[in-house]
Amino acid sequence: MNTCPKCNKPLVCENDGTDLIEKQRRDKTGSFWACSRYPECTFIHKEPRSSRPAPSGDYRELAQAIAQAIKELIEAIRTSPR
């Protein structure tokens, strides 16, 4: 039986009581837990957004630098001779 990595409680399907298994996604949301009887049962368990870690300061600084570079590029295009 799989258990929650944070609280060690068993992870079971709320619909039929079978084990949940970890599934991997190819997008930025990462993994999630789904019923082992999929596709017969489509129950999934996701962590609430508030419990997911916030991006570190490095990402915020990078996003700010990218935004500033875009602003400067737009301004350079606007002021360039045509």
Confirm whether 45 is domain-assigned. Answer: yes
Over range 71-75, report the average pLDDT: 92
Confirm whether 26 is domain-assigned. Answer: yes
Confirm whether 35 is domain-assigned. Answer: yes
User: Domains in the chain: how many in total?
Assistant: 1
Confirm whether 46 is domain-assigned. Answer: yes
Cite the DSSP H helix spans in the chain. 57-79
Tell whether omega for the bond before 39 is within 30 degrees of 0, i.e. cis. Answer: yes
- For residue range 14-24, what is the model confidence (pLDDT) as tens digits? 888 888 888 87
pLDDT at position 35 is 85
- For residue range 22-71, what is the model confidence (pLDDT) as tens digits? 887 766 666 777 888 888 888 887 665 555 555 566 677 888 889 999 99
Confirm whether 4 is domain-assigned. Answer: no
Six-digit token string for 17: 């009581």
* Residue 72 lies in domain: 20-79
State the sign of the Cα–Cα–Cα–Cα dihedral 18, 22, 24, 30. positive
Confirm whether 7 is domain-assigned. Answer: no
What single DSSP character describes residue 12? B
Confirm whether 13 is domain-assigned. Answer: no
